[in-house]
Structure formats: C-alpha cells, structure tokens
C-alpha cells in the first residue's frame, strides 16, 4: 500500500446527503467523517452542511484537540464560550482546547451552511515546517 490515499466527498451541493458522526447520538444528515474513511494518524476532517435554521443542538469541548473551521457557503453563527460570532464564506475559526463551541445556520441564510472542520492533536506544529525537503532536480509530471 502506498503512503497516500484518495477519497471523493462530492460537490458542496451533495454534502447534505452524507450521514455520520462519532457516535449514533451525534450522527446527523450533512456530516461526513472523512477520517473514518482514510487512515489519518494526526489529523481528522469532517465535511458538514446544515439547512437554514438548523443547529448543532449541543455544545462540546476538547481537552487535547484543536479544531479549524473553514466556512465555504451560507451564513451562520458559532457560539464560542460566552461569545457568538457570525460566519460565512471565507471565515476561518481556530478553536483551542477547553473552549466550548456550537454552531447553527442562520434562518435567513440563502442556502445551506457548508464547512470543513479539521481536527489536530499530538505535538504542536512548528511555525515553519522543519521536516520537509525540496527536490529541485526532479521534472514535473505534467
């Protein structure tokens, strides 16, 4: 087996067809746990879609994991501790350990709220990756 894998999560307008979660109680339409399909070791990812007016329905925190939410379409809000922020296309939110979070699609959103959530843990990453190597001698494959 090679050290890369590929999956297709579909176009944004197909994300609502997914059903998933970490447990039966937290599974819902519009969630695909990509890291359950690919053998990820240090990161996780979900593709998400909520209908206008739909919400997570729960708060949650992580003790060892931070999350990065990348909003692609629609308009919504995130509850972050005591704060509520507006989110929409191009909004990127990092949520650290111990911060309670929840989210919803605004009722007046012109379409589904769609976002990717990336989870990371283990050791902190360096500001500048220090484990890479540039190969300027190999020709481009195209």
**pLDDT tens per residue, range 44-82:** 889 999 999 999 988 999 888 899 999 999 999 999 999
pLDDT at 138 over 60: yes
Give the pLDDT mean for 17-29: 77
Contact call for residues 46 and 116 (beta carbons, < 8 A):
yes
DSSP 8-class letter at 126: P
Three-state secondary-structure class, residue 45:
strand
């Amino acid at each position: 087996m090679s050290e890369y894998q590929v999956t297709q999560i579909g176009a944004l307008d197909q994300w609502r067809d997914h059903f998933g979660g970490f447990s039966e109680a937290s599974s819902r339409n519009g969630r695909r746990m990509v890291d359950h399909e690919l053998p990820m070791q240090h990161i996780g990812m979900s593709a998400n879609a909520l209908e206008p007016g739909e919400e997570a329905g729960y708060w949650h925190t992580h003790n060892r994991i931070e999350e990065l939410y990348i909003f692609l379409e629609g308009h919504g809000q995130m509850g972050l501790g005591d704060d509520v922020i507006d989110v929409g296309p191009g909004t990127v939110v990092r949520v650290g350990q111990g911060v309670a979070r929840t989210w919803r699609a605004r009722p007046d959103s012109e379409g589904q709220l769609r976002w990717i959530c990336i989870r990371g843990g283990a050791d902190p990453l360096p500001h500048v990756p220090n484990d890479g190597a540039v190969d300027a001698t190999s020709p481009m494959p195209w």
